[in-house]
Amino acid sequence: MSGVEIRSSEETMILDSVDKFLERDVRPVARELEASDTYPQAIVDRMIELGLFGATISTEYGGLGLSATTYASIIERISAVWMSVSGIFNSHLIMAAAVQRFGTTRQKKYYLPKFASGELRGGIGLTEPDCGTDLKGIRTQAVGEDDHYVVNGVKTWITNSAEGGILAVLVKTDPRAEPAHRGMSLLLIEKGPGFNVVRKLDKLGYKGIDTAELLFEDCKVSRENLVGEEEGRGLQQILSGLELGRINIAARGVGIARACLEESITYAQVRKSFGKPICEHQAIQLKLADMATRVEAARLLTESAARAYDSGGRCDMEAGMAKLHASEAAISNSVDAMRIHGAYGYSREFNIERYYRDAPLLAIGEGTNELQRIIISKQLVARNKV
């Protein structure tokens, strides 16, 4: 019971602070910043003050040391107001999780306090122009020379790469290794010579947050920045971090699905047709019922995945289920919300069109939903051998 009691007291205080932050610093400016695709620096500064960049980093290194369960609750709240804000520290914390779980003692002592304080912010560099879900196909190479590596390659769709200062980059240290994952390593690369931000990418939704294409051109990286003690462990290390990332995506889905539901309930009570509020029409009632059920199911799956992550065991199936269902719930609810709002849902006067543009990203990010289904299926068989 102690874990429940700690969560109920500490979580209440933390979530209250997050709610106040959202109402005071985010909601009033979200629509304007999203429309102009402006990086929300003032919001980021406030997030630093709140310690959100250290949300899941151990208190030993200056972080808040929050459980994944509490973290998911924070992400749901933020995403219900403006999803882009949650992405600013999601990839940052995936990077931090890789260092905290697999980094050397020196890396933990040097980097984690800087990550937790927000002094050094960043994310992960995985995707390439010809490689997304299939990470074994990456081409970026790191060639060892004396006390450093020389990195060459292109990464794209990288969050926090333009505004951040460091990335955990997946590279090939042995291109000839078989199977391919044994030749892949994770390097912490700080901005400097050879680390080039080529262009900021224009997106349908998920505005405000920086997403860019990078070119590593003879970029020298100290061997001390190899995550862990040996090469060839990079894919394993980053996939472990992506479990937290998928819980984050699931929580975002819950947030968007909930926002769609709440705004639809409100609108359906004030909008009238045929002489009565549309919430009294059975067609609308059916939609609201389905939307509410999706939200509740998505939240329960997300909480289940977060608890599995907190237990320290493998949770790729649980995280995959949560990510799959919650992201699809967000997409479905955004469509139903637009139908309920009618022409107003299609207008920038309401938030519905933003939810409608943001939600599809969740079915793609941190591994496509098609991949999640494969992961779930394989784990079902592995856990139920006959």
Q: pLDDT (tens digit, 9 = 90+) per residue, 42-84?
A: 999 999 999 999 999 999 999 999 999 999 999 999 999 999 9
Average pLDDT on 10-25 reads 92
* Pick from 132, 138, 67: nearest CA to 97: 67
The confidence score (pLDDT) of residue 222 equals: 97
Residue type, 269: Q
Average pLDDT on 337-357 reads 96
**What are the helix (H) ranges across 146-233?**
none
**Cα–Cα dist 376/356, whole Å:** 27
Catalytic residue among 76, 318, 328, 366: 366
Which one is predicted more confidently, 10 or 88?
Answer: 88
* Pick from 291, 289, 298, 297: nearest CA to 254: 298
Cα dihedral 191, 194, 200, 205, rounded to 10, equals -60
Q: What angle do CA 68, 113, 60 make, to 5 degrees?
A: 60
Percentage of the chain with pLDDT > 70? Answer: 98
The confidence score (pLDDT) of residue 2 equals: 37
The confidence score (pLDDT) of residue 88 equals: 94
The confidence score (pLDDT) of residue 9 equals: 75
Confidence bin at 8 (pLDDT 50/70/90): low
The confidence score (pLDDT) of residue 10 equals: 75
Confidence bin at 5 (pLDDT 50/70/90): very low
Q: pLDDT (tens digit, 9 = 90+) per residue, 172-195?
A: 999 999 999 999 999 999 999 999
DSSP 131: B
The confidence score (pLDDT) of residue 79 equals: 98
**Cα–Cα dist 282/286, whole Å:** 6
**Which contiguous run of DSSP H or E holds residue 291?**
helix 282-310
CB distance 353 to 207 below 8 Å: no
Q: What angle do CA 123, 125, 128 make, to 5 degrees?
A: 150
The confidence score (pLDDT) of residue 3 equals: 42
The confidence score (pLDDT) of residue 7 equals: 53
Percentage of the chain with pLDDT > 90? Answer: 90
Tokens describing residue 258: 């909930």
Which one is predicted more confidently, 190 or 5?
Answer: 190
Confidence bin at 374 (pLDDT 50/70/90): very high
Average pLDDT, the chain: 94
Full-model pTM: 0.93
If phi over 0 gives left and psi between -120 and 50 gives alpha, with beta otherwise, what is residue 271? beta
**Cα–Cα dist 254/72, whole Å:** 10
The confidence score (pLDDT) of residue 313 equals: 83
CB distance 138 to 130 below 8 Å: no
Q: Is the pLDDT of residue 327 over 60?
A: yes
Distance of CA 87 to CAs 52, 270, 322, Å?
A: 12, 33, 18
- Note if 366 is an active site residue: yes
Cβ neighbors of 292 (< 8 A, separation 6 or more) are 261
Structural domains of the chain, with CATH: 2-117 (1.10.540.10), 122-232 (2.40.110.10), 236-383 (1.20.140.10)
Average pLDDT on 351-357 reads 98
Q: Which residues pair with 131 in a beta bridge?
A: 128
